Amino acid sequence: MPSLLHPALPLLLGATLTFRALRRALSRLPLPAHVRADPLRTWRWHNLLVSFAHSIVSGIWALLCLWQSPEMLVEIETAWSLSGYLLVCFSAGYFIHDTVDIVVSHQARASWEYLVHHVMAMGAFFSGIFYKRFVGGGVLTLLVEVSNIFLTIRMMMKINNAQDHLLYRVNKYVNLVMYFLFRLAPQSYLTHFFLRYAGERTLGTFLLSVLLMLDVMILIYFSRLLRSDFCPERVSGRQHKDKFLTE
């Protein structure tokens, strides 16, 4: 059982404080005029900058972990590497930071979906951190950060009302491909793996329940993505205040 003296706690604290420091540093960068004019967009822009940095580092790190320890692709429960363990701690620190940032900034109501996602992700990561099991599963889950690089670019351009730019039009197709390769495919593979734990009262069963809830959220996000980028006529008449917070 995890204790107050668990050696992973300094890693989690260090990662959380690192992202907090990064948030403060990035907030000093100049803002696009359209973003600067709205305090809510300003907060979301800074929040996404941190997310973008996390996605680049974690996405590349996850690919390197699998290249160095390919057994994680098969031995999802037992495979372990120091690099993979540190990656999971690093990303858990990001989710802790982002959760605190959302709550402290009084955006919990508008961003409740992110909070639900973060709580589930942290629950899954903590099982690998404190029990040193399913670290390979954590690394595979973090392949989604490769997709998030392009998803975050999309969201930042939407916040800046830049949907008519060529970069947005190109990125929306790249984002769709990456969504399939690094979000839907790994999630399907992991769900298939954890289905073997159905009916058992084990850590694997807990992780399966988390995965199934994430599956539902991912499919909802995917349907929103398709409607927004490829069927805009279906949403053009719908008014949704501060829609950019979640889409």
Q: What is the pLDDT along the chain (247 residues), one digit of tens a residue?
A: 444 578 899 999 999 999 999 999 999 999 999 899 999 999 999 999 999 999 999 999 999 999 999 999 999 999 999 999 999 999 999 999 999 999 999 999 999 999 999 999 999 999 889 988 899 999 999 999 999 999 999 999 999 999 999 999 999 999 999 999 999 999 999 999 999 887 777 888 889 999 999 999 999 999 999 999 998 766 554 444 455 555 6
pLDDT, position 247: 60
CA dihedral (71, 75, 76, 78) positive or negative? negative
Per the CB < 8 A criterion, the answer to whether 210 and 128 are in contact is no
Separation of alpha carbons 152 and 53, rounded Å: 10
Which 3 state secondary structure label does DSSP give 232? helix
Separation of alpha carbons 46 and 246, rounded Å: 15
Give the other-Cβ count within 10 Å of 178's Cβ: 20
Distance of CA 4 to the CA centre of its chain: 27
CA dihedral (66, 69, 72, 73) positive or negative? positive
pTM for the full model? 0.92
Cα diameter, the chain: 55
Distance of CA 236 to the CA centre of its chain: 27
In sequence order, what DSSP letters do the residues of 69-126 get, joined into one string? -GGGGT-TTT---HHHHHHHHHHHHHHHHHHHHHHHTT-TTTTHHHHHHHHHHHHHHH
Per the CB < 8 A criterion, the answer to whether 53 and 22 are in contact is yes
Tokens found for residue 190: 């992991």
pLDDT, position 57: 98
The one-letter code for the residue type at 212 is L
